[in-house]
């Protein structure tokens, strides 16, 4: 196998490849761009006009998606998978991946697009570096741009695999939702406010079709046997080879939600009135007190069908401690 086919090994050991550019036997060109970032260009006669960015490891403890990208790259380097698209593979946070921790100093996925201008350190520098790589990759006109940012959640979820659509000028299309369903997503959460995630940056700034995919619970490397990414892997292989499968079908099995409110931790007096082990998409009892904070701030459940996503009462003051989401009809969600 070509040395550049071992991107994860290079990243975890902190080594640069001896050759920045290598050619596969089928004519694909692999180019090491910077630590954890590899661009793959198909032969010109096989290029279908799609620019596909696949990122994982934005948080260093979310390893199942990283292992998935490594499998895809191994098969590309060995000519078992023959790309017909331009492909950028990104392992987002090398320092955190080496430690097996969520982040080193600050959550990288809150820093894109100038999300926290006062924050400095390795994650802030990495956010700028990844923005530049994405801009360089998506700089060709009249090509389709697609970005899937692959994650795993801190805690368990009553809906194991789901996608988040960052707030943008365009709502998702039925075709986009059908593709996500074909890849194993059971729900899509539509965000309606600005965010500083990687997918929000590529969607808003670079006009990419961008989604964050949450793919089960985070585990260390080698401990992901219970995480079934089979459907997603089939979809990604088809996209890479330019043979995207038909996505028409009934979307009524795909659950759709929108963000109703954010729960923000304002002070050390913040209190969540749910068990520490509460799962994502836990149903909330109408009228119940969810959380409170100093200054008389209270979050009482007012919405019908409300659920809680990303509960994390231990975040820093000023950050989101959870999302209250509600169901939305398909016709109200799609373009």
39 a known binding residue? no
| Residues 263/281, Cβ–Cβ less than 8 Å | no
Which residue shows structure tokens 């991107």?
A: 7
Closest by Cα among 153, 158, 167 to 205: 167
Backbone dihedral angles phi then psi of residue 293, each to the nearest 5 degrees: -150, 175
Mapped onto helix, strand or coil, the DSSP state of residue 131 is helix
- Cα separation, 84 vs 178, whole angstroms: 22
62 a known binding residue? yes
Give the tokens for residue 161.
């695999």
| Sequence-separated contacts (24+) of 292-301 with Cβ below 8 Å | 293/265, 293/266, 293/267, 293/269, 294/266, 294/267, 294/269, 294/270, 295/266, 295/267, 297/266, 299/261, 299/263, 299/324
Q: Which residues pair with 272 in a beta bridge?
A: 291
Element of type H or E holding 256: strand 255-264
Give the tokens for residue 275.
């068990």
Do you know the residue count of the chain? 335
Element of type H or E holding 54: strand 50-56
Catalytically annotated residue among 214, 279, 292, 303: 214
- Cα separation, 119 vs 111, whole angstroms: 8
| Sequence-separated contacts (24+) of 201-204 with Cβ below 8 Å | 201/112, 201/113, 201/131, 201/134, 202/53, 202/134, 202/138, 202/145, 202/147, 203/147, 203/166, 203/168, 204/113, 204/166, 204/167, 204/168
φ/ψ bin of 92: left (φ > 0), alpha (ψ from -120 to 50), beta (otherwise): alpha
Is 214 catalytic? The answer is: yes
279 a known binding residue? no
**Catalytic sites, residue numbers:** 214
Known binding positions:
59, 62, 151
Known binding positions for Zn(2+):
59, 62, 151
């Amino acid at each position: 196998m070509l040395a550049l086919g071992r991107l994860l090994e290079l990243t975890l050991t902190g080594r640069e490849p001896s050759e920045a550019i290598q050619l596969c036997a089928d004519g694909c060109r692999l180019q090491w761009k910077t630590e954890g970032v590899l661009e793959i260009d198909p032969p010109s006669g096989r290029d279908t006009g799609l620019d596909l960015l696949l990122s994982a490891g934005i948080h260093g403890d979310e390893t199942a998606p990283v292992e998935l990208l490594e499998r895809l790259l191994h098969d590309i380097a060995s000519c078992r998978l023959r790309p017909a698209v331009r492909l950028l593979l990104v392992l987002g946070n090398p320092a955190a991946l080496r430690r097996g921790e969520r982040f080193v100093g600050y959550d990288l996925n809150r820093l894109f697009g100038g999300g926290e201008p006062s924050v400095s350190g390795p994650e802030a520098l990495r956010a700028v570096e990844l923005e530049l790589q994405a801009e360089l990759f998506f700089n060709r006109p009249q090509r389709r741009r697609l970005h899937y940012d692959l994650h795993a959640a801190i805690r368990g979820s009553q809906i194991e695999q789901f996608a988040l659509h960052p707030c943008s000028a365009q709502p998702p299309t039925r075709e986009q939702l059908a593709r996500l369903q074909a890849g194993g997503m059971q729900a899509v959460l539509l965000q309606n406010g600005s965010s500083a995630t990687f997918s929000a940056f590529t969607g808003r700034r670079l006009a990419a079709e961008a989604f964050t995919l949450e793919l089960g619970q985070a585990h260390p490397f080698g401990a992901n046997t219970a995480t079934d990414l089979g459907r997603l892997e089939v979809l990604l292989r088809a996209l890479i080879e330019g043979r995207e499968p038909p996505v028409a079908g009934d979307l009524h099995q795909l659950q759709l939600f929108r963000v109703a409110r954010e729960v923000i931790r304002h002070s050390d007096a913040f209190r969540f009135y749910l068990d520490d082990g509460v799962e994502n998409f836990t149903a909330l009892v109408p009228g119940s007190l969810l959380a409170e904070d100093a200054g008389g701030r209270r979050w009482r459940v007012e919405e019908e069908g409300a659920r809680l996503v990303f509960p994390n009462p231990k975040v820093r003051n000023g950050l989101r401690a959870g999302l209250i989401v509600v169901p939305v009809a398909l016709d109200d969600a799609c373009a």
